[in-house]
Structure 1
Amino acid sequence: MKTKSHKLFFRIMFFVIGLMLFAFGIAVAIVADFGVSAWDAVSVGLYEHFHLSIGTWMNVTSLLLILLGGWLRHERPKLSCMITSFVMSGFVDFFVWLMNGVSISPWIGKLTLFLVGVIIISIGCGTYLVGNFAPCPIDYFMVALRDKFQTNIRTAMTLCEGSGFILAFLVSGPIGLGTLLSVFIYGPLIQYFHQHAKELHQSLLYRFP
């Protein structure tokens, strides 16, 4: 029983800390104004048009991704994915509020802050996935694309980000060079940090059986 409780504790710890880092990284990327990831750009664009919070629009786009994923896989949409969306969107709103008024003007400063945001996002994503709870809606959608078109993760991610890029353009989201860069750099970084997070998780389980 003690072993099971320890395993659950560490899973929850990695899940929550990972989501907090993930959300903080998103907020940093937004402040950098160098171009956030495609689907985050959609949320920001909708926020600027309709003035609900960014976190609220993250939930709306997350629900859309879940519904599309369920349709592509011919299954009942996994609404449990919204748990992840609700938790992370709350953190995003908090961190955006915390950094309200922060402005970076030189482009080199924007690039630097953007890269910091990307690294934090990758660490957070790689960490929260270790918890193995409800998947992120965009991950659910990506897997649905992979299964539908019988392709690999890399191509599915490109399709996923590409569709987000088009939608972000339509809603006048903050598309920039960073939006294009994110398509190619998130995958390798997330994989790298996820591997290290798994090793840390296993180490903690070994030290505290």
Structure 2
Amino acid sequence: MPKIVLACSMPSSRSGSLPLLTHGMMENLFHEFGHAIHSMLGRTRYQHVTGTRCSTDYAEVPSILMEYFANDYRVLREFARHHQTNETLPEEMINRLCQSKKFGSAYEMQTQVFYSILDQVYHGNHPLDRPTVEILEEIQKQHSSIPYVPGSAWHLRFGHLVGYGAKYYSYLYSRAVASKVWHGCFAADPLRQETGEKYRREMLSHGGGKEPAVMVENMIGKRLSSEELVDALIDETKS
């Protein structure tokens, strides 16, 4: 896999050379930067509802949206360079690299749906004397392509079941919203200043001080239906 070097990277203290980032590392950097600007650009009256202190359904939207920028050649060519020649990485190489990430995306989406359903069932109404392993086996048989392994209990290591408490679905919800914002506002020109200013004003500045659906509607110009969100997730599995 080709290496990505950030032009702003500081020299390594050991070798004196610039540290290299794989595309996956760089994408994760963009993801976390989305959370950072969500907080830095917050302009709410009360600090306890600023930035990422918002609805869980909305908290991952800015970070997932930044992943689209990390996979767009028009953005990458601004800083992605060959670590020896400093030449801009070829567009064909970047496009093939980004397309390769679609491999297995349908299964990944199915797995996230499975996890979300399992989370809902565990936190819903079910017989209290029924072992959680039995529930896991039943849900996995219904909603996963991978068969349940008898005697296994991997859900005991699934920390989100406790940390999120019936809200694990928010990752899928946020991904669907981010997809609509990207394709509706940024895909045509990801570096357009007017669009970025609107994004800062309509979505990033309010944190949890404004209804998420209203912020998204003000950004893309329409209220999203459940069907549109589902279609957005399905489109994410396509090349």
TM over 0.5: no
Structure number with the bigger relative contact order (C-alpha 8 A, sep ≥ 6) is: 1
Max Rg structure: 2
Please, what TM-score do these two structures have when normalized by structure 2?
Answer: 0.26
Please, what TM-score do these two structures have when normalized by structure 1?
Answer: 0.29
Say which structure is richer in helix: 1
